[in-house]
Amino acid sequence: MKKRDPVSNHIEADFVDRDSYEPAYVQLAKLLKRKIGAGLFLPGEMLPSESELRSFYKVSQMTVRQAINILAGDGVVRSLQGKGTFVKPMNLGAFSFQLGELQKLFIDKKHASIKFLEVDLVIPAERIAKILSIPPGERAVYIRRLILKDNEPVLIHSEYLIYDPTRPLVESEMEVTSLEGLFDGSGQTDLKKGEISINAAVFNDDEAGLLKVPPQSPAFKMVHVFYDFNDKVVSWGQFLCRGDQSHFSTKVGIWE
Amino acid sequence: MKKRDPVSNHIEADFVDRDSYEPAYVQLAKLLKRKIGAGLFLPGEMLPSESELRSFYKVSQMTVRQAINILAGDGVVRSLQGKGTFVKPMNLGAFSFQLGELQKLFIDKKHASIKFLEVDLVIPAERIAKILSIPPGERAVYIRRLILKDNEPVLIHSEYLIYDPTRPLVESEMEVTSLEGLFDGSGQTDLKKGEISINAAVFNDDEAGLLKVPPQSPAFKMVHVFYDFNDKVVSWGQFLCRGDQSHFSTKVGIWE
DNA sequence: AAGTGGTCTAGACCACCTA
DNA sequence: AGGTGGTCTAGACCACTTT
């Protein structure tokens, strides 16, 4: 039996097209991914070394590394210095969900609308004052609103904002809480960072009424804190989403 | 007023230490990120051009690009060919959650244990047979088990597996469903890819009883499908997690 | 010593945008 | 035309692992 070439294996177009609009490193990454997907390199096995790849595909070291970095970023492969680059077994820990999926759901401009339920200057509970780092008894802006999709309510957003008397309320409110901007990154030039956590929850009677779902039906609760460039908290609040209308999904392993 | 140097701005150690154990591109990336975090480059503004950075920090083009690619990967910055590299406003769409967080919760080897509730050869419902791509009436392996943490039940996993008569049941069962391996990537060499979706749910009476929580309490439901290297479905099932014991959290924007 | 991944350079060329 | 990001190279050197 003929000795198997460790690099080349039957696969369509096993070369880098220098006239392609696609960069060489992208082509190479796709090529290798396709080979891995086809089972030519099984999980745990080592890929051809970078120098093998370099000479086989007639590209430079840097180009090979760029390609392999893509695969590593995809979680398909792992490189160990001095040892080699190995195909990673699929693992669930690598699953990651993008909150952006929700964006499609309720921030669609064509179908979405917002109904304010409450906009007030309030003295927040001690717990919340603590989170906002304001003295107890000091006022904050409280906003509660309903996001509708095709006139069907899907989501309640309630939020406490730092009250800045030097700025008109409407402005600070719009800036910090313009949801479209928050999600697509078009605005929000004064927020530096944020934390968010997703929890499972059920609607209470009040919330269920607003969203027109039965009480005790499932919901996602997303609690958020936003900071400005002085690392001061500017906002704390939560999104309550209908569980039946929102979910997160993703793929892992070798696709395509 | 003195003209502001567009590249250098007061910041500790604004240079690349060539004797450091840290690669130059990592140092540069951290440096720039720190400057952005300090508000020296505001969202929407343009970073110094690559050639400016190159000459200021005395590094090569490739090194600058590697640094910028890190920032771009972090979602901190966006490069537009022919225009420049710009600081991105924080946006929620960039939030991403790692399923790995759950791993800590229930796959901890020290504290976790598994109790099998059911292991059977069953004829699955038509809907499930369809997902598994097996003819109606054909048998599949059904597994249902409880994952406990410190002897407290936190999670129910139920799963249908393709029944392969050529393999002993126990083996195929252990291979596909060894949860530890699934999550940390130590095993699972025969799974190519998977899809998973996370939904909000509430426990029914049966499930609530198993997990010792009140009925109708909140839960995460994670439905999964796994494929082998022939793109055949090998498993369909779901994790049901106590909502009070599991949540996902993440950070976005400029941290550290 | 030989093989592996990892970093870095100096310079080249290209594609794109703005004037 | 001149600036910007984007790709690529050939070769150098380093750090780590295995033999």
Kindly list the distances between the CA atom of residue A28 and the CA atoms of A32, A253, B215, B243, in Å, as whole numbers in the listed order.
Answer: 6, 18, 53, 43
Task: Tell me the pLDDT band of B26, cut-offs 50, 70 and 90.
Answer: very high
Q: Is the CB of A80 under 7 A from strand C?
A: yes
Q: What's the rounded mean pLDDT across residues B237-245? A: 92
Least confident stretch, A14-23, A33-42, A148-157: A148-157
Q: Is B94 at the interface with chain A, CB within 8 A?
A: yes
Chain B partners within 8 Å of A92 (Cβ): 99-100, 103, 182-183, 194, 196
| A64 burial via Cβ count (<10 Å: 0-12, 13-18, 19+) | buried
Run of H or E residues at B169? helix B169-177
β-strand pairing of B191-202 with B218-228 = antiparallel
* A121 Cβ contact list (under 8 Å, min separation 6): A139, A140, A141, A142, A163, A169
* Residues counted in chain B: 256
Q: How near does any CA of chain B get to the CA of A138, in Å?
A: 28
The predicted structure's pLDDT at residue A2:
35
Give the closest of A183, A189, A216 to B42, CB-based.
A189
Q: Is the CB of B3 under 7 A from strand C?
A: no
| A162 burial via Cβ count (<10 Å: 0-12, 13-18, 19+) | buried
Query: Does position B243 have pLDDT exceeding 70, yes or no?
Result: yes
Which nucleotide is the nearest neighbour of B81, by CA and C1'? D5
Give the span between the Cα atoms of A222 and A201, in whole angstroms.
10
Nearest to A243 by CA among A183, A205, A202, A207: A202
Which pTM does this prediction carry? 0.90
Chain B partners within 8 Å of A229 (Cβ): 37-39, 42
**If you count residue pairs, one on A and one on B, with CB atoms under 8 Å apart, how many are there?**
218
* B186 Cβ contact list (under 8 Å, min separation 6): A89, A91, B180
Among chain B residues 14 through 73, which have CB within 7 angstroms of nucleic chain C? 23-26, 58-63, 66
Q: How near does any CA of chain B get to the CA of A82, in Å?
A: 17
Q: Where are the alpha helices (DSSP H) in chain A?
A: 24-37, 50-57, 61-73, 100-106, 126-132, 169-177, 179-184, 205-211
Which nucleotide is the nearest neighbour of A85, by CA and C1'? C5
How many other CB atoms sit within 10 Å of the CB of residue B216? 16
Q: What is the mean pLDDT of chain A?
A: 87
A residues 39..58 contacting B (CB < 8 A): 39, 42-44
Yes or no, beta carbons of B193 and A251 under 8 Å apart: yes
Task: Tell me the pLDDT band of A105, cut-offs 50, 70 and 90.
Answer: low
Yes or no, beta carbons of B183 and A254 under 8 Å apart: no
Query: Does position B173 have pLDDT exceeding 60, yes or no?
Result: no
Yes or no, beta carbons of A195 and B254 under 8 Å apart: no
Task: Tell me the pLDDT band of B246, cut-offs 50, 70 and 90.
Answer: confident
Residue of A nearest to B96 (CA): A98
Kindly list the distances between the CA atom of residue A8 and the CA atoms of A5, A86, B70, B183, B228, in Å, as whole numbers in the listed order.
Answer: 6, 17, 32, 32, 23
How many other CB atoms sit within 10 Å of the CB of residue B148? 17
Higher pLDDT residue, A73 or B92?
Answer: A73
Query: Does position A146 have pLDDT exceeding 80, yes or no?
Result: yes
Tokens representing residue B164 in the block: 């392969």
Give the span between the Cα atoms of A120 and A97, in whole angstroms.
34
Query: Does position B135 have pLDDT exceeding 80, yes or no?
Result: yes
Nucleotides in chain D with any atom closer than 7 Å to protein CB: 3-12, 15-18
Q: Is A227 at the interface with chain B, CB within 8 A?
A: yes
Among chain A residues 56 through 115, which have CB within 7 angstroms of nucleic chain D? 58-63, 66, 80-83
Q: What's the rounded mean pLDDT across residues B149-153? A: 87
Query: Does position B96 have pLDDT exceeding 90, yes or no?
Result: no
Kindly list the distances between the CA atom of residue A43 and the CA atoms of A7, A9, A15, B82, in Å, as whole numbers in the listed order.
Answer: 16, 17, 23, 41
Instruction: For chain B, give the longest Cα–Cα distance.
Output: 84
Residues B188-203 have pLDDT tens digits of 678 999 999 999 999 9
Task: Tell me the pLDDT band of A99, cut-offs 50, 70 and 90.
Answer: confident
Q: Is B217 at the interface with chain A, CB within 8 A?
A: yes
Give the span between the Cα atoms of A87 and B37, in whole angstroms.
36
Nearest to A156 by CA among A213, A196, A197: A213
3-class secondary structure per residue, B185-213? CCCCCCEEEEEEEEEEEECCHHHHHHHCC
The predicted structure's pLDDT at residue B86:
98
Yes or no, beta carbons of B189 and A44 under 8 Å apart: yes
**Mutate which of B88, B95, B190, B255 to test chain A, going by most A C-beta atoms within 10 A?**
B95
A80 CA to D15 C1' in angstroms comes to 12
CB contact at 8 A, B253 and A235: no
Nearest to B191 by CA among B166, B146, B149, B226: B226
